[in-house]
Amino acid sequence: MKGRLRSLASGCRRSVVLASMGLFAASAFGQGGSTVNRPYDELPDWSGVWSMTSNTVFDQATVDPPGGSSNTIGTREYPPYNEAWEAIYAANRAADARGEFPDPISTCGTPVGYPRLLNQPGAYEFVVRPEQVWILTEDGPNIMRIYTDGRDLPPPDELWPTYSGESVGHWEGDTLVFQTVSMKGHTGAIVDRTGLVLSEEAVIETRMRQTGPDLIEARFAIDDPTAFTDTWHVVKEFERMEPGTRIFEFACAENNRNPIDASGRTLTLDAEGNILDQL
Amino acid sequence: MKSQNSILATAAIAVIGLAGLSGVATAHHAATMFDREQTVELVGTIREFQWTNPHIWIQIQVPNADGEVEEWSVEGGVPNRLFRSGWRPNSFEPGDEVTIRAFPMHDGGKAGLFIGAKLSDGSTLGRYE
């Protein structure tokens, strides 16, 4: 074991050298290590503060128009929806165009849920521990706990839909692989503001690995037997921010001047709390 | 609508087509109440700057052609991310004379989504070319 640890430590040092040369060796970390309960010195260093490289359109590969914003009416993506769920997506986009597709997090109290948790505009921390990995987002409340201690997913009678679901994972070389189930479906969460939603039956396999000295890639394989005709593959990337970057408190309810009315319309209040919208 | 016409004819000063402009504040809520095809310029005096989550708000008093002062509420981004792009809790202070460019509300309400500002010392914040 000692010999292997020395070899891994050597591998890590080698990666630093390669990184400094702009030749990051993605496979330098953890090759051949244990798949669960991996000790600290066999885990990758994902310390620091990270930010998503793209805007908040979840699937950058199919966004229409290219480069479109999730805050612009008409922007859409092309997940492999079946006919019924393509209709749901169309209805959501139509509601958005009417100003009646409120973001569920406008209530300032609920998490964005998974996979939207890896589609956030604010800062991230990826805390890698032997028995679990935590994904912490500055916006929130969003905390993802991925157990890497060898446990199985809970049995069905111990699961109920939650925003972020339940996740268990393991390491394959330098890649964190985890399965997430039991997420709230379209009645409680969205994937992005274009109107993308999943059903409660969605199962997501996420593969995260460092692809550069300051770059982490997350590859999603999303199966949704209720909504999809095929597996939906999506890639997001995160870049490490400047050393010393601060993460700040996000208290959404502190001064929320955009409440939702009974129709689902997002209102705008003046400084005294009066409604500015011409209702 | 009358209110909007009045503002556009007097205090708002300019309406500029800016289709396709993106990258403005990302909100915790749908922002479809703001018209991203139009821009208003608000020339006035800061009454209050709310450096708060989930969004900053700028209360600016703008005189209209009748000499009346109208207060506009301009919504900006999340203070956490604005801080990292150079903003500070005192980026605006009461009494500052500024020009703010914003996307107005579709329905004529006196609010806007912040795009950029020119401060009295000539410096700018956000997108203000």
Q: Encode pLDDT of B64-120 as tens digits.
A: 889 899 999 999 999 999 999 999 999 999 999 999 999 999 999 999 999 999 998
Distances (CA, A) of A217 to A2, A18, A206, B34: 31, 19, 10, 34
Taking residues A167-190, what's their average pLDDT?
96
CB-based contact, A59 to chain B, within 8 Å:
no
Q: Encode pLDDT of A117-135 as tens digits.
A: 999 999 999 999 999 999 9
Give the pLDDT score at A15. 39
- The DSSP letter of residue A151 is P
Taking residues A55-83, what's their average pLDDT?
95
Q: Find the farthest-apart pair of alpha carbons in chain B and give their distance in angstroms, rounded.
A: 40
Picking from B109, B123, B85, B111, the residue whose alpha carbon sits closest to that of residue B1 is: B109
In chain A, what percentage of residues exceed pLDDT 70? 89
**Distance from A122 to chain B by nearest Cα, in Å?**
7
Give the pLDDT score at B8. 35
> If you search the block for the tokens 């070319």, which residue do you land on?
B129
Q: E strand or H helix at B48, and its extent?
A: strand B40-50
> If you search the block for the tokens 């969003």, which residue do you land on?
A142
In chain A, what percentage of residues exceed pLDDT 90? 78
pLDDT band at A33 (very low <50, low <70, confident <90, very high): confident
Question: CA B113 to CA B31: how far, in whole Å?
Answer: 9
Burial of A65 per CB tally in 10 Å (0-12, 13-18, 19+): exposed
pLDDT band at A76 (very low <50, low <70, confident <90, very high): very high
φ, ψ at A211 (rounded to 5°): -110, 0
Give the pLDDT score at B56. 97
| Strand partners of residue B42 | B100
Give the pLDDT score at B64. 87
**Distance from B49 to chain A by nearest Cα, in Å?**
10
- Cis-peptide into A65, omega within 30 deg: yes
Reading the block at residue A105, the tokens are 């997090």
- Nearest residue in chain B measured CA to CA from A73: B32
Q: E strand or H helix at B98, and its extent?
A: strand B97-104
Give the pLDDT score at B129. 79
Question: CA A161 to CA B1: how far, in whole Å?
Answer: 45
Quickly list H helices, A134-257. Answer: none
Burial of A199 per CB tally in 10 Å (0-12, 13-18, 19+): middle
φ, ψ at A191 (rounded to 5°): -95, -40
Beta strands in chain A (DSSP E): 50-52, 123-128, 132-137, 143-147, 166-172, 175-181, 203-212, 215-223, 232-240
Q: Flag whether pLDDT at B1 surpasses 50.
A: no
Q: Flag whether pLDDT at A18 surpasses 90.
A: no
CB-based contact, B110 to chain A, within 8 Å:
yes
Taking residues A188-212, what's their average pLDDT?
97
B chain contacts of residue A71, beta-carbon cutoff 8 Å: 22, 26-27, 30-32
CB distance B79 to B85 below 8 Å: no
Question: CA A207 to CA A167: how far, in whole Å?
Answer: 12
pLDDT band at B22 (very low <50, low <70, confident <90, very high): very low
Q: Flag whether pLDDT at A28 surpasses 60.
A: no
Give the pLDDT score at B26. 59
Q: How many other β-carbons are positioned within 10 Å of the β-carbon of residue A58? A: 27
Taking residues A161-190, what's their average pLDDT?
96
pLDDT band at A248 (very low <50, low <70, confident <90, very high): very high
Give the pLDDT score at A32. 58
Q: Flag whether pLDDT at A244 surpasses 80.
A: yes
B chain contacts of residue A103, beta-carbon cutoff 8 Å: 27-30
Q: E strand or H helix at B8, and its extent?
A: helix B2-9
Range in A143-147, A194-198, A201-205, A274-278 the model is least confident about: A274-278
Coil/strand/helix, residue A50: strand
Question: CA B75 to CA B41: how far, in whole Å?
Answer: 14
Mean residue pLDDT of chain B comes to 82
Q: E strand or H helix at B112, and its extent?
A: strand B111-118
Give the pLDDT score at A273. 95
Q: Flag whether pLDDT at A11 surpasses 60.
A: no
- The interface pTM score, or ipTM, of the predicted complex is 0.81
Among partner residues A122, A257, A266, which is closest to B80 by beta-carbon distance? A122
B chain contacts of residue A99, beta-carbon cutoff 8 Å: 30, 32-33, 106
> If you search the block for the tokens 């997002």, which residue do you land on?
A266
pLDDT band at A222 (very low <50, low <70, confident <90, very high): very high
CB-based contact, A31 to chain B, within 8 Å:
no
Mean residue pLDDT of chain A comes to 89
Burial of A217 per CB tally in 10 Å (0-12, 13-18, 19+): middle
**Distance from A266 to chain B by nearest Cα, in Å?**
7
Q: Encode pLDDT of B27-67 as tens digits.
A: 667 777 898 899 999 999 999 999 999 999 999 999 988 98
In chain B, what percentage of residues exceed pLDDT 70? 78
Question: CA A210 to CA A26: how far, in whole Å?
Answer: 6
Q: Flag whether pLDDT at A213 surpasses 50.
A: yes
Distances (CA, A) of A12 to A24, A27, A29: 11, 10, 6
